[in-house]
């Protein structure tokens, strides 16, 4: 029998071919990275909380700080965004662990407990934990006073209640373990922080614990609640991803937040959603909440009828700032009616009777529209209304002076956060002497706009809150948003600085 032998070159070729085949099989069998899977899927799935800070459906569609950041991150990836909102934090954790979502973006503190389970992204703002009480009730100034008072009264039931799935629970457990073994508190497994804040406001609960930002937002709805004392120092708020050896998504997240911070865009978004929560006027807010119940139902149809392209709730907030929803309001300076129009302004928008609420609202909205139409295109769409409202109060020319002054000082004239800090300078001679329109009560214009922003937020929270009972706590209520290009900021053009007519300067 004849034997066949392979030549050395043939043998080498077969070995190389086999190695390539095996190598190809190994490459094909390797699991794809998280980032590759997202891009192949074409969708970034983000779990969030349905509230007024992270994600909600506004008059112009989806909105919220975490939503806008998630939309831009998805745009960076070139994929669609799928928001999966939940009413309870506890719904988000298993969804991330089971691979139903890629990221949790819900304004959550990077607590040790959460960091043990998930990987936090970079901090994008900070909050502290605060003990909350109702104004008029006894206020403990320290934790020692709270514990001592509870024990001296001999109460068996806890006077402080918190939510269950929370970094707050871990804080209180640590306090009880290492500082005050007799510290008594109750955990409500069914409640959210907003529920407990409402109970405190209504006198049904003595104390609870909430994050500082959440308290500030809730005070627009429940003005009776206040800070008894700070429980912790500032803590970082972060997004969370799964813990694994795959760092592809995590690495891109770090890069994204680094760029967003450096570009100033993160600061602009924070100004948009929480820039107005710094100050709180208890008396004014309490009066406003009463007016929401007693006056707004009567006038809401009128605001809705004439708001046109503006959110009717913003028009309502503007009207409250002007007249406290009093159609016959008058001032010594000659302004009249629901929108407090001057006589020349009223004539310019076709109002013949300023004390007629229908004419006043229609005329006020038309006047605001005229101003808004002149706001420079270089200003981001969501910020144009604040510039327009400032001009509504102090005059278009003075508002433009503040923008020029902002640019001269090296800040961004298209950023409301930067311009509002320069408006008060228009009172000072060394600054207004350099401007085209001179002296102005710019500090009043700043407060005017910030008040309207707060009233607007209160109206949204008051009439648009969706009870938790109406939702099963799942994350199935999703929305898919197509990827879009990020808004590009342009330089301030000289053409944008030309004065408006005398009519709009009053």
pLDDT band at 485 (very low <50, low <70, confident <90, very high): very low
Asked if the model's pLDDT at residue 486 lies above 70, the reply is: no
Helical H runs in 223-309? 248-262, 265-274, 282-294, 296-306
pLDDT band at 461 (very low <50, low <70, confident <90, very high): confident
pLDDT in tens, 128-150: 899 999 998 999 999 888 888 77
Percent of the chain with pLDDT over 90: 42
The residue-averaged pLDDT of 182-208 equals 89
Q: What pLDDT is attached to residue 495?
A: 35
Instruction: Count CA within 13 A, CB hemisphere, residue 216.
Output: 16
Q: What pLDDT is attached to residue 156?
A: 55
Torsion sign across C-alpha atoms 73, 79, 84, 90: negative
The residue-averaged pLDDT of 403-425 equals 93
The residue-averaged pLDDT of 154-180 equals 81
d(CA 420, CA 406): 9
pLDDT in tens, 315-370: 999 999 999 999 998 876 678 899 999 888 899 999 999 999 999 999 999 999 99
Q: Compute the mean pLDDT over every residue in the chain, rounded to the nearest whole number.
A: 82
Distance (Å) of CA 129 to CA 87, 193, 210: 21, 12, 6
Question: Are residues 121 and 256 in contact, defined by beta-carbon separation less than 8 angstroms?
Answer: no
Asked if the model's pLDDT at residue 501 lies above 90, the reply is: no
Asked if the model's pLDDT at residue 98 lies above 50, the reply is: yes
pLDDT in tens, 35-91: 999 999 999 999 998 877 888 776 567 888 999 999 999 999 999 999 998 877 888
| pLDDT higher at 83 or 506 | 83
Question: Are residues 81 and 45 in contact, defined by beta-carbon separation less than 8 angstroms?
Answer: no
Question: Are residues 311 and 320 in contact, defined by beta-carbon separation less than 8 angstroms?
Answer: no
Asked if the model's pLDDT at residue 415 lies above 70, the reply is: yes
Q: What pLDDT is attached to residue 386?
A: 94
d(CA 353, CA 331): 16
Q: What pLDDT is attached to residue 278?
A: 57
pLDDT band at 406 (very low <50, low <70, confident <90, very high): very high
Asked if the model's pLDDT at residue 20 lies above 70, the reply is: no
| pLDDT higher at 454 or 477 | 454
d(CA 113, CA 120): 11
The residue-averaged pLDDT of 485-493 equals 37
pLDDT in tens, 221-255: 788 899 999 888 888 899 999 998 888 999 999 99
**Owner of token pair 């929480």:** 274
pLDDT in tens, 44-60: 999 998 877 888 776 56
pLDDT band at 113 (very low <50, low <70, confident <90, very high): confident
Q: What pLDDT is attached to residue 378?
A: 94
The residue-averaged pLDDT of 2-19 equals 54
Q: Pick the catalytic residue from 322, 366, 485, 491.
A: 322
β 103-109/43-49 pair status: parallel
Tokens at residue 372, please? 């808004």
Q: Is 322 a catalytic residue?
A: yes
């Amino acid at each position: 029998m004849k034997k066949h032998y392979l030549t050395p070159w043939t043998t080498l070729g077969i070995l190389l071919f086999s190695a390539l085949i095996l190598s190809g099989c190994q490459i094909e069998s390797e699991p794809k990275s998280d980032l590759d899977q997202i891009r192949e899927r074409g969708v970034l799935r983000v779990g969030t909380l349905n509230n007024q800070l992270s994600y909600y459906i506004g008059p112009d569609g989806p909105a919220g700080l975490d939503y806008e950041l998630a939309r831009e991150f998805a745009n960076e990836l070139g994929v669609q965004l799928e928001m999966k909102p939940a009413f309870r934090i506890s719904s988000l954790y298993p969804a991330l662990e089971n691979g139903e979502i890629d990221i949790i973006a819900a304004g959550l503190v990077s607590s040790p407990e959460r960091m043990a389970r998930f990987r936090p992204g970079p901090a994008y703002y900070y909050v502290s934990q605060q003990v909350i009480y109702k104004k008029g009730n006894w206020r403990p100034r320290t934790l020692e006073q709270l514990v001592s008072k509870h024990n001296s009264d001999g109460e068996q039931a806890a006077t402080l209640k918190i939510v269950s799935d929370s970094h707050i629970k871990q804080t209180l457990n640590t306090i009880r373990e290492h500082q005050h073994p007799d510290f008594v508190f109750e955990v409500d497994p069914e409640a959210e922080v907003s529920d407990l804040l409402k109970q405190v406001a209504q006198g049904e609960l003595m104390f609870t614990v909430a994050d500082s930002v959440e308290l500030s937002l809730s005070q627009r709805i429940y003005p009776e609640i206040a800070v008894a004392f700070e429980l912790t120092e500032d803590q970082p708020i972060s997004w969370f991803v799964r813990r694994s050896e795959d760092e592809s998504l995590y690495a891109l997240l770090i890069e994204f937040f680094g760029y967003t911070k450096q570009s100033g865009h993160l600061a602009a978004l924070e100004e948009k959603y929480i820039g107005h929560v710094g100050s709180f006027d208890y008396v004014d807010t309490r009066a406003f909440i009463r007016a929401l119940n007693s006056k707004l139902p009567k006038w809401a149809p009128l605001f809705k009828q004439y708001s046109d392209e503006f959110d009717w709730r913003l028009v309502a907030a503007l009207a409250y700032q002007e007249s406290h929803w009093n159609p016959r309001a008058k001032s010594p300076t000659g302004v009249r009616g629901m929108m407090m129009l001057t006589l020349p302004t009223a004539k310019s928008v076709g109002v013949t009777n300023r004390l007629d609420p229908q004419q006043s609202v229609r005329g006020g909205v038309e006047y605001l529209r005229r101003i808004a139409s002149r706001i420079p295109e270089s200003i981001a769409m969501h910020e144009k209304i604040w510039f327009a409202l400032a001009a509504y109060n102090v005059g278009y020319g003075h508002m433009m002076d503040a923008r020029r002054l902002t640019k001269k000082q090296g800040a961004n004239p298209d950023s409301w956060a930067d311009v509002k800090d320069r408006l008060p300078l228009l009172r000072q001679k060394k600054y207004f002497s350099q401007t085209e329109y001179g002296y102005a009560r710019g500090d009043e214009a700043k407060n005017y706009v910030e008040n309207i922003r707060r009233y607007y937020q209160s109206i949204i929270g008051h009439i648009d809150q969706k009870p938790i009972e109406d939702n099963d706590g799942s994350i199935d209520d999703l929305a898919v948003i197509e990827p879009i290009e990020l808004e590009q900021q342009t330089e301030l053009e000289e053409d944008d600085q030309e004065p408006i007519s005398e009519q709009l300067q009053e």
